[in-house]
Amino acid sequence: MKYLFCALVAAVFILTGCQGDETVRAYGAADRTWRLVELDNASVIYDATLTFPETGQIAGKAPCNAYGATMAVPYPWFEAGPIAATRLACPDLDAEIAYFTALTQMSLSEVLGDTLLLSNDEGRIMVFKADGLTLR
């Protein structure tokens, strides 16, 4: 009986240890604001950001609206869930649609110092640069 109890306690510790953050957030993307600088090898002239405010979440500012989505796949995978955004109109709505479309098509992530790369098997790529620490 004593061994069964010890085995049960060990199993609980192992399972709770597996509940940690395994997303890109835990591999260098947390506590930073990432600014989009390139989309599909072309410089970006609009302002778009990406943050990882907490485990399983992404958020940011697109060219017109603030947005948020879920993101819970383990690193190096990337998968933005359905994006929820405010609904402000602005002259950059076409750029915003392109940004959201690209973001939802990304499937891989890589953090290299102050650079975050998102890409997919079709050859699309988004390059972000870190602005610095985000406010908590």
Mean pLDDT of 48-73: 96
DSSP secondary structure code for residue 123 in this structure: S
Question: Is the model's pLDDT at 1 over the cut of 90?
Answer: no
Question: Is the model's pLDDT at 79 over the cut of 60?
Answer: yes
pTM, to two decimals? 0.81
Domain that includes residue 85, residue range: 22-133
Mean pLDDT of 38-44: 97
Mean pLDDT of 26-50: 96
Residue 118: the pLDDT is 98
CA-CA distance, 109 to 126, in Å (whole number)?
Answer: 10
Instruction: Say how many domains are in the chain.
Output: 1
Mean pLDDT of 13-18: 39
Mean pLDDT of 41-48: 96
* Domain-located, residue 125: yes
* Domain-located, residue 91: yes
* Domain-located, residue 63: yes
Q: Is 13 helix (H, G, I), strand (E, B) or coil?
A: helix
Residues 105-131 have pLDDT tens digits of: 999 999 999 999 999 999 999 999 998
CA-CA distance, 76 to 40, in Å (whole number)?
Answer: 19
* Domain-located, residue 48: yes
Mean pLDDT of 57-74: 96
CATH number at residue 127: 2.40.128.270
Residue 20: the pLDDT is 81
Question: Is the model's pLDDT at 103 over the cut of 90?
Answer: yes
CA-CA distance, 52 to 55, in Å (whole number)?
Answer: 7
* Domain-located, residue 33: yes
Confidence category of residue 72, pLDDT binned at 50, 70, 90? confident
